[in-house]
Amino acid sequence: MSPLAAYVLAAGELICEFQDGYQRSLLADLVGEPPRTMLLVYENISPGAAEVISTRSPGRNPVRVIAEGKSVHLIQEAGPSVMVTTLLACERTKRRSGERICTRFRARHAWHFDRAALSNPDASFESQPTGASPGTCEPWRLD
């Protein structure tokens, strides 16, 4: 298990904030749209599974957790497509009860219009759409 995967599993729950990829475009700047954000709360994170609550859709939805290579991918199936949050690195840590925990993860979120991320998430991340949303995730409970 990678150190990043261990940090994610130790967190158990994450709250993530992403900037809308469209907002980075020149078109959004030209029409003067205010920045848009999306919040995702990942709960009950365990090896292989979790649940997500999103500001963009109602209810709790199941998520696959795939730790592959240096990244951790949280993949929600949406019909013939998938929504993927990829945790890339731990940006900040602190000590809690004598052990080091991650307090902020660098992340990206993208909607893939195929299901390739389920079989090869790292390759799918490499071909991620240009409109992927940058953001961060933090453990819901730090102390």
First to last CA, the chain: 24
Q: What is the pLDDT of residues 57-97, one digit of tens each?
A: 889 999 999 998 889 999 999 889 999 999 999 999 998 88
Task: Give the contacts of 59 (CB within 8 A, at least 6 positions apart).
Answer: 53
How far, in Å, CA of 72 to CA of 107, rounded?
Answer: 9
How far, in Å, CA of 48 to CA of 22, rounded?
Answer: 30
Looking up residue 46, the CATH number of its domain turns out to be 2.40.128
Number of domains present in the structure of the chain: 1
Q: Which domain holds residue 80?
A: 3-139
Predicted pLDDT of residue 70: 85
The angle formed by the CA atoms of residues 133, 138 and 143, to the nearest 5 degrees, is 175
Q: How confident is the model at residue 114 (pLDDT cuts 50, 70, 90)?
A: confident
How far, in Å, CA of 85 to CA of 67, rounded?
Answer: 12
